Structure 1
Amino acid sequence: MPEDQPADDTRRNPLEVLGPGLVTGAADDDPSGIGTYSQVGAQFGYALPWALLFSYPLMVAIQEICARVGASTGLGIAQNLKEHYPRSLLRAVVVLLLIANVFNLGADLGAMGAAFALIVPGPVLPATIAFGIASIILEVFISYQRYAAVLKWATLSLFSYFAVVVLAGVDWPAAIHGTIVPHFRFDSDHVMALVAVLGTTISPYLFFWQSAQEVEEQHRRHVKPLCVSPRTAGPELKRIRTDTLVGMGFSNLTAIVIVIATAATLHKAGITQIDSAVEAASALRPLAGDLAFVLFAIGIISTGLLAVPVLAGSAAYAVAETFGWREGLARRPREAKAFYAVIALATLAGVGMNFLAINPMKALYWSAVLNGLLAPPLMFVTMLIARNKAVMGEMAISRGLAFGGWLSTAVMAAVAILFLVI
């Protein structure tokens, strides 16, 4: 097959077609996301699952656009920002991304350590440190092809939450009604819940990760950027769309399941305030039994092991592209020392946060604030890149996809304003 011709996805098995989008979607359901969804279910019962259904097309649009930018240009988001926009904008975006990612890493690693201590009683900090070190070793020393397969299979851990909802005694008519029929009051509690859901599901680190992983996939398969050979791009664009639709669908379906499970147990029992995903797991034990509790706790650890590398990796891609360093998980550590150093330092900084007297929920809140503020300007410039024929060539996105991207950007801008005024 010629080097500039992408592989026809019709000849590839489903696990090969599903990749960056599937992993990105699953990583969105990290421990901090689980905490957010648990709080929404506990506080509002079956009233707000519709918000996740609402966010699905918005997620799909912006993530597909980010994936297409990477696949079409052969460059990540930060590299495109560097080449086509003011350096000051690039620096501001990367600094905010680093801060938000480190806060998120700290909260996720802390939740993983606490969840492990629930299952195997013992001190939390040693478990947190062990998870951080294990994540660094896996990301740095395993080959990209094997590591991508590990991440792909790790998405199966999300099925633990589907098992929890089976054990939770759900009022299915109420749950289905709350999922497909919007119910909303314009008060501070409902607005903040909506802001939390959208800020958790549409996060900048996911933009950087999926775009960069499309570039990695091109390197792995030895194909050129799509803008170089647009006439052969059809199968790749179809793969990207399928991958993104499935990945974001899996992500949001899991989130809906978590909201429904906690609504059926915690909210029904009068528990309306959850301060962490671990607290949600603990509260489930007397209400849904030991099996549901263990599955929920295992899900926290498993999704954390999936999300931590994505958070650290997206930070490393952004920094490496900013400074022009060699980057990519397909490279050996000695070939991209600075890139892997950022992965290690970001993860260790997240571990270090757990030694400070920082309330984990406050860390998550400020991480969400930073993500909410960072998302709209980043989405705006990504849309400019995606529609710019000087950058994308014949692969500039269509008007239909652009409408979805601009609508997603407008919604996240409204979310950012709500963060600031409430």
Structure 2
Amino acid sequence: MKKLFALALGILTAIGGFVDIGDLVTNALVGSRFGLSLVWVVAVGVLGICVFAEMSGRVAAVSGRATFDLVRERLGPRLGLANLLASMAVTALTLTAEIGGVALALELATSVNPYLWIPVVGAAVWLVLWRVRFAVLENAFGLAGLALVVFAVAVWQMGPDWSALWNDATHPSVPGNESLPTYLYYAVALFGAAMTPYEVFFFSSGGVEEHWTADSLRTMRANVFVGFPLGGLLSVSIAVATALVFLPEGIQVGTLGQVALPVVLELGKIGLALALLGFFAATFGAACETGLSVGYSIAQYFGWQWGKYVPPLRAARFHTVVLLSCIAGVALLLTTVDPVQVTEYSVVFSAIALPLTYFPILVVANDRTYMGRHANGRLANTLGTVYLVVVIVASVAALPLMLVTKAGQ
């Protein structure tokens, strides 16, 4: 019974923890502009993050070693350092976006200017990472993030033409008022939002902290292959809600308040309260995960003591990196940069940097020196290789598409 409860809790946490500020903003914006014509990208991205997370989790469970520890050993210190710098730049940008997302959620709840909330949020994230236990951090925010199911309820309440929605989702096309480069740019953005590297850093490092072994693989796979796809359905429900409300009016979603509007229209104040809880939990939980991911990766590369289970005095450099990353994120936001715009850039740069962490994990997962009989099988290798091609194509295409479309304008 205890194992069953742990499995159910892990799946629920994976569902609620899948959606972050990148998924909220990108899915809502895409729904309002393209309807359901890009839902196929969410499906591709969800399967991709499942493949990536399963390999990373399996490597962590079998080898007992974390991602950047293995990346440095497998690629060598110089190439490993380049990999680290690129990955950390994207993760730090994502942390900035998540802190901004929490501030925007608090603005909706209190009507207080988000720039007044930003320093408070940065300090709160650091205090939680410093003092709150790992299990509480992982489970509390993941479970609270399930409040975003309110978007699916709102869609149901709207009573849409389900056959028309299915037809739009399964017969994707470029809308007449949009260009092909813009369509492809948002396809890359959606893919980057689904396959954010920090999710894998956090997932595999957490496995090392919780002392996963080969006996943990079934539970890990259930969390990945059930939790992430159901979390992906939450993302799709956000896109459907904004498509039903904004697309017919020709309105493009540009604020977090607009993301919540379909829920308010259908479910009133109770719906708004649940949406705000979901926004806060999803963004604050993701801010904690990205903050830890920065600390994890740098400490793992340099061989420092690291981890939430390690007393702060024994992992002082790890906690210092986490603190500095929070300060840097707050400082960038206080330049009055738009948090939504930071989010849009962060998901695109996630797609650009993705091959740098995906390829080494694929290599290690195939290496029987590390993995023994748990190395990639035929199916894992086929999916892994296919997605290696996909992430390289997305990475190569992202920057030219950003420049040609002026970031999707």
The TM-score normalised by the length of structure 2 is 0.89
Q: Is the 8 A contact 2:14 2:142 kept in 1?
A: no
Query: How far is the alpha carbon of 1:396 from its aligned partner?
Result: 1.0
CA distance in 1, matches of 2:116, 2:137: 25
> In the alignment, what sits opposite 2:250?
270
Mapping of residues 106-121 of structure 1, within 5 Å: 106-121=96-111
2:6 to 8, 15, 19: 15
CA distance in 2, matches of 1:93, 1:276: 33
Mapping of residues 16-165 of structure 1, within 5 Å: 16=7, 18-19=9-10, 23=13, 26-165=16-155
Query: How far is the alpha carbon of 1:370 from its aligned partner?
Result: 2.5
| Structure 2 residue identity aligned to 1:308 | A
CA distance in 1, matches of 2:340, 2:111: 22
Q: Does the C-alpha gap of structure 1 residues 270 and 195 become closer, same or farther in structure 2, counting only changes over 3 Å?
A: same
> In the alignment, what sits opposite 2:208?
215
Question: Which range moves more in the overlay, 278-287 or 386-395?
Answer: 278-287
Query: How far is the alpha carbon of 1:68 from its aligned partner?
Result: 0.6
Query: How far is the alpha carbon of 1:96 from its aligned partner?
Result: 1.8
> In the alignment, what sits opposite 1:244?
224
SS at match of 1:358: coil
CA distance in 2, matches of 1:368, 1:147: 24
1:258 to 238, 249, 255: 238
Query: How far is the alpha carbon of 1:282 from its aligned partner?
Result: 5.5
Mapping of residues 349-364 of structure 1, within 5 Å: 349-364=328-343
Aligned-residue CA RMSD in angstroms? Answer: 2.4
Query: How far is the alpha carbon of 1:146 from its aligned partner?
Result: 3.4
Mapping of residues 275-290 of structure 1, within 5 Å: 275-281=254-260, 289-290=268-269
CA distance in 1, matches of 2:230, 2:262: 25
| Structure 1 residue identity aligned to 2:311 | R
2:173 aligned with 1:184, yes or no?
Answer: yes
Mapping of residues 253-332 of structure 1, within 5 Å: 253-271=233-251, 273-281=252-260, 289-332=268-311
Which residues of structure 2 form unaligned runs of 5+? 402-409
Identity of aligned residues (%): 22
CA distance in 2, matches of 1:244, 1:77: 17
| Structure 2 residue identity aligned to 1:184 | S
SS at match of 1:46: coil
Q: Does the C-alpha gap of structure 1 residues 55 and 147 become closer, same or farther in structure 2, counting only changes over 3 Å?
A: closer
The TM-score normalised by the length of structure 1 is 0.86
CA deviation string 1:253-302 (max 9, x = no partner): 1101000011111112321x223434433687568755544443332212
| Structure 1 residue identity aligned to 2:238 | I
| Structure 2 residue identity aligned to 1:61 | V
2:192 aligned with 1:199, yes or no?
Answer: yes
CA distance in 2, matches of 1:421, 1:346: 29
Q: Does the C-alpha gap of structure 1 residues 387 and 158 become closer, same or farther in structure 2, counting only changes over 3 Å?
A: same
| Structure 2 residue identity aligned to 1:183 | P
CA distance in 1, matches of 2:25, 2:311: 35
2:374 aligned with 1:395, yes or no?
Answer: yes
SS at match of 1:119: helix
> In the alignment, what sits opposite 1:230?
none
Aligned length: 397
2:398 aligned with 1:419, yes or no?
Answer: yes
CA distance in 2, matches of 1:314, 1:304: 15
CA deviation string 1:198-239 (max 9, x = no partner): 011012111211111111121xxxx6x43xxxxxx4xx2221
| Structure 2 residue identity aligned to 1:238 | R
CA distance in 2, matches of 1:35, 1:295: 17
Query: How far is the alpha carbon of 1:24 from its aligned partner?
Result: 5.5
| Structure 2 residue identity aligned to 1:355 | L
Q: Does the C-alpha gap of structure 1 residues 70 and 204 become closer, same or farther in structure 2, counting only changes over 3 Å?
A: same
2:361 aligned with 1:382, yes or no?
Answer: yes
